[in-house]
Amino acid sequence: MRNPLRSESEAYRFLWVIVAGAVLIIVGAFIDTWLGVAVAVIVFAALGWWLMHEPVPGAADPLPVVTSETPPGTHRVLVVAPPGTETVSVPDGAEVLVVVPALASTEESLTGAVDDRRDDAEATAAALGARLPDARVEVGADDPALAVEDALRIFGADEVLVAGDDGLLDAIRERVALPVSRTRSGT
């Protein structure tokens, strides 16, 4: 759905659409009250249809794919572990960063009520940190793909290991131009 107040120009256009709709309703109501009601229903339906079908700028554009580089002679692995993961298998000899995305629902993200999800992620990160003393463990963003993107900006990795389900694996594969595979984990 397109936000009619996305920019000043669109808000100005929306204003004149509302004025046109109001004029139609007023004319209909002056002819007959029920005609006015019918016109109002049609105008609101048309407005809803227009906002639903108006293309959102940039929505069809492919998401940017994130790449990363590592210093020569090092092997770095980024591990994505959803909250609740108790153990993950990491390759020996590699520098490891484990990211625990907060994984909030859409409603929680929209309303900013992500404190509980962050608490879960922090508890998981603390437990994994205790089990993997050689690895860095951090809490990431609510969106796992965004959490990976953030992590790759500060920790260039050669590969990404995911300790989650297929949905999480696919979401990360779409956004990362690195080998992404599943690692053994326990919950």
**Given the rule CB under 8 A, which residues bind another protein?**
3, 5-9, 11-12, 14-15, 18-19, 22, 25-26, 29, 36, 110-111
Q: Which is nearer to another protein, 12 or 49 (CB)?
A: 12
Vertex 104 angle, CA 153 and 140, to 5°: 25
Q: Which is nearer to another protein, 14 or 155 (CB)?
A: 14
Task: Please say whether the beta carbons of 36 and 25 come within 8 A.
Answer: yes
State the nearest-atom distance from the C-beta of 56 to another protein, in Å: 12
State the nearest-atom distance from the C-beta of 113 to another protein, in Å: 12
Q: Which is nearer to another protein, 43 or 102 (CB)?
A: 43
Helix (H) / strand (E) containing 118:
helix 115-131
Quickly list H helices, 32-86.
33-53
Q: Which is nearer to another protein, 18 or 46 (CB)?
A: 18
Helix (H) / strand (E) containing 124:
helix 115-131
State the nearest-atom distance from the C-beta of 34 to another protein, in Å: 13
State the nearest-atom distance from the C-beta of 38 to another protein, in Å: 14
Q: Which is nearer to another protein, 17 or 146 (CB)?
A: 17
Nearest CA-CA partner of 81 in 162, 19, 135, 158? 162
State the nearest-atom distance from the C-beta of 31 to another protein, in Å: 13
> 115: which 2 tokens?
């404190």
Q: How far is CA 68 from CA 74, 136, 146, 148, 175, in A?
A: 13, 18, 14, 11, 12
